[in-house]
Amino acid sequence: MATFVVTKVRKEQSADGSHRHIEGVCTTNNSHYTRQSVVDSINAGNSWTTFGGGLTATIEVISECPKAGCNAKPYIKTKPDSTKLDNLENLPEC
């Protein structure tokens, strides 16, 4: 199985215009992957992590965007840890 390292995210405006959520990610080699392709890859057994602030976090699949009323699904997130620098939502945009 492959391991992918995400260093940036691409965001889009939500359908209701209330927030920006993750549309996709960019890896260390500047390749762009949609949120759905990351979900499919994780479900196929591949590993996805972030890299920010010198630390890493594992990307996981969740059922939908955590913002109330948002219907973007499936969605991806990282587990909170000691720093926010490697959290998926806090990475710079690509």
Backbone angles phi, psi at 80, to 5 degrees: -65, 145
How many percent of the chain have pLDDT more than 90? Answer: 69
* d(C-alpha 54, C-alpha 19), whole Å: 28
* d(C-alpha 13, C-alpha 53), whole Å: 26
Among the residue ranges 16-25, 45-54, 64-73, 74-83, the one predicted with the least confidence is 74-83
Residue 30: which region, alpha, beta or left (left: phi > 0; alpha: psi -120 to 50)? left
Model pTM score = 0.90
* d(C-alpha 70, C-alpha 8), whole Å: 22
85 pLDDT more than 90: no
Domain ranges of the chain: 3-90
Supply the pLDDT for residue 82.
58
Supply the pLDDT for residue 28.
94
- For residue range 23-60, list pLDDT tens digits in order: 999 999 999 999 999 999 999 999 999 988 888 899 99
13 pLDDT more than 90: yes
